[in-house]
Copies of this chain bind each other. A is one copy, B any other.
Amino acid sequence: MSKYPRSLERLMGELQYLPSVGPKTAARLAFHLLEAPLERVQALAQALKEVKERLTSCRRCGNLAEGELCPICQDPDREPQTLCLVANTRELMAMENSGQYRGLYHVLGGLISPLDGIGPEELNLASLLERLKREPIQEIIVATNPTVAGEATALYLKELLQGKGVRLTRLASGLPIGANLEYTDPLTLSRALDNRRPW
């Protein structure tokens, strides 16, 4: 016979599907929810349902959207001359959170990774080439991670997009703000040296 009532056990079990939630955290969350106001818990349950029902991909850029187009593609203040290529919507949101970027995006839907069996045909490249024909794009910023898969994808994109009449750029690599030289890995340091700027 279980120690917890059945519905509480079930809630703890479902909470454990969340990232970095083990049995102890699940129990803590479940007891918190037990004591939380009914409206709060109902609102959470409702928000969970709605996010799955309503969210789709933006027809144009692949970002999360509730209708045909995402909030960014709908925003008339974004500059349509600049396109930023990101691997997924989380990295798109990270770029947005920097507050610096005013152009549009294109979500690749992944990175080229032969070891995981992901080739260029898995990425949203056909729609990217389509956009290049129709939209007034002048610069494409390749904003994939400075990792093996990110660099491989960036190289592939360079070959694909060269000669299409757009300026190609890549996010800078170097020391993160607040870094300490002593604790910086050698690869980052050598990249920061390579990319040194006139001072």
Provide the main secondary structure of the chain A interface.
helix
How many angstroms between the C-alpha atoms of A29 and B47 in the bound complex? 13
Copies of this chain present in the complex amount to 2
Closest to A36 in B: B17
| Interface band, chain A | 35 or more
Is A7 an interface residue, CB under 8 A from the partner? Answer: yes
How many angstroms between the C-alpha atoms of A11 and B15 in the bound complex? 15
How many angstroms between the C-alpha atoms of A40 and B19 in the bound complex? 13
Chain B residues with CB under 8 Å of A52's CB are: 33-34, 38, 41-42
Q: Is the CB of B48 within 8 A of A3?
A: no
Q: Is the CB of A8 within 8 A of B55?
A: yes
Chain B residues with CB under 8 Å of A2's CB are: 71
Closest to A3 in B: B96
- Given A8-B64, A48-B41, A52-B38 in contact, is the A75-B1 Cβ separation under 8 Å? yes
Is A134 an interface residue, CB under 8 A from the partner? Answer: no
Is A196 an interface residue, CB under 8 A from the partner? Answer: no
The residues in A between 24 and 55 inclusive whose CB is less than 8 angstroms from any CB of B are 27-34, 36, 38, 40-55
Q: Is the CB of A14 within 8 A of B71?
A: no
How many angstroms between the C-alpha atoms of A54 and B74 in the bound complex? 44
Q: Is the CB of B7 within 8 A of A50?
A: yes
Q: Is the CB of B70 within 8 A of A5?
A: yes
